[in-house]
Amino acid sequence: MRYISERSTDPGLLVLSSLAAGPKHGYAITRDVEEVAGVRLGPGTLYGALSRLEERGLIEALPAEDRRRPYRLTAAGATALDEQLRALDRVVRTGLNRLAAEAAT
């Protein structure tokens, strides 16, 4: 059984990571997240995350293009993403180092 941390598949973190590459509309975010993380965000999950991130000032909606509304990362969103990714990186490095040490014994 493969275990994937809920933290690493948190929709908010995945959306912020996607938008770090530049503005995207919902479908483009979904495709990017699936390609990069292997996680499929359903419409309810995606738009719920977008709403929460926008309420917290981490992303902002841009003017609609046809029927699509693109979003972009704010400065506060970039800072929050950086902090979250650094925390995850510490966990990953620690876990890998501990596994290597255990395997060596």
Q: Is the pLDDT of residue 28 over 50?
A: yes
Q: Are 20 and 73 in contact (CB under 8 A)?
A: yes
Structural domains for the chain: 9-104 (1.10.10.10)
**Whole-prediction pTM value?**
0.86
Structure tokens at 12: 């908010």
Q: Are 63 and 71 in contact (CB under 8 A)?
A: no
Query: Where does the pLDDT of residue 5 fall: very low under 50, low under 70, confident under 90, or very high at 90 and above?
Result: low
Which residue has better confidence, 67 or 48?
48
Helical H runs in 58-105?
75-104
In tens, the pLDDT along 70-98 reads 999 999 999 999 999 999 999 999 999 99
Averaged over 43-67, what is the pLDDT?
95
Euclidean distance between CA atoms 17 and 82, whole angstroms? 9
Q: Is the pLDDT of residue 2 over 80?
A: no
Residue 46 makes CB contacts below 8 A (sequence gap 6+) with: 11, 15, 26, 29, 30
E-only strand ranges, 1-105: 59-61, 71-73
